[in-house]
Amino acid sequence: MRRNLMMIIMLVISSAFTLPQEWSAKVTKVIDGNTLEILTSDNETYKVLLKEIDCPEIQQSFGAEAKKLTEKLLLKKKVTVIVNGKDRWGNRLVSVTLSNGKDINQELLKRGFAWHNTRLSSNSTLKSLESQAKTGKIGLWEKENPTPPWIFRRQQTMKVAKSR
């Protein structure tokens, strides 16, 4: 009996940590196209990353444009944030919806300022929006073969390692 009770308690505790959290928040800062600082209704500040997409780094082509678009769409606006876990560095991975119901990931993909991160997502809507932007040569897809940010970051890490 005691063993069963312990198993139930552990199950309840572990499920509490895996359930998505939903917050009403205000976007206080846009760090780059897919990284935000938010202030929750509980007056807590968090740095969060948009899940399922990756925008160009600021130093990359279209990185500044992705940041400007995210600022235009989100900065100082009230949003709904759903926390869907953390990445390997402990950053909160989130979905963000504007008060008008627009999904920020969809907007960034539609306008050609993000990649659908297929390593972490199989969302068919996001895949389709990226494909439409590629076909239409919209945003970063104006270039023949834009460098994805995860490759850019790896290249930067390798440059630093070689310079040592």
**pLDDT (0 to 100) of residue 25:** 97
Question: Which residue bears the tokens 């009996």?
Answer: 1
**pLDDT (0 to 100) of residue 45:** 95
Name the H helices within 20-137: 63-74, 104-110, 124-135
**pLDDT (0 to 100) of residue 44:** 94
Tens digits of residue pLDDT in 63-89: 999 999 999 999 999 999 999 999 888
**pLDDT (0 to 100) of residue 15:** 44
Output DSSP code: residue 123: -
**pLDDT (0 to 100) of residue 74:** 97
b/e per residue 5-20 (b: at least 16 CB within 10 A): eeeeeeeeeeeeeeee
**pLDDT (0 to 100) of residue 89:** 87
Residue ranges of the chain with per-residue pLDDT less than 70: 1-19, 163-164
Question: Are the C-beta atoms of 79 and 68 separated by less than 8 Å?
Answer: no
